[in-house]
Amino acid sequence: MVGKGFSLVQTKEMSMKTEDAQRVFREKASDFLLLLNKGPVIALEFNGDDAVQECHLIVNGLFNGTKMFVSEKKETASGDVDSFYNFAEIQMGI
């Protein structure tokens, strides 16, 4: 991914409950609730120029039709990342 102008910063894999998904994914949570019982959520944080746009292109090309959450725009990406990783840190402390 470095060749695309961005790099993988961190990853995290963890199980989530309905209320966790509602807090982390907010208005998009209902899109993912059925998937929570099928396995863990895997988060990938990429950083770099046009990372959000490039991730959309890659996800749509590779996983077309599969439910994936990718930040909708650069301006909200930081908050999306913080929501998930703050949740993950809290869960690790329990």
Per-residue model confidence as pLDDT tens for the chain (94 residues):
555 788 889 898 988 888 888 888 888 888 888 888 888 888 888 998 888 888 888 888 888 777 778 887 888 888 888 888 888 887 776 5
CATH of region 2-93: 3.30.70.141
Token readout for 29 is 């949570």
Backbone phi, then psi, for 12, in 5-degree steps?
-155, 140
pLDDT given at position 71: 83
Token readout for 76 is 């909200």
- The angle formed by the CA atoms of residues 77, 35 and 19, to the nearest 5 degrees, is 70
pTM of the model: 0.74
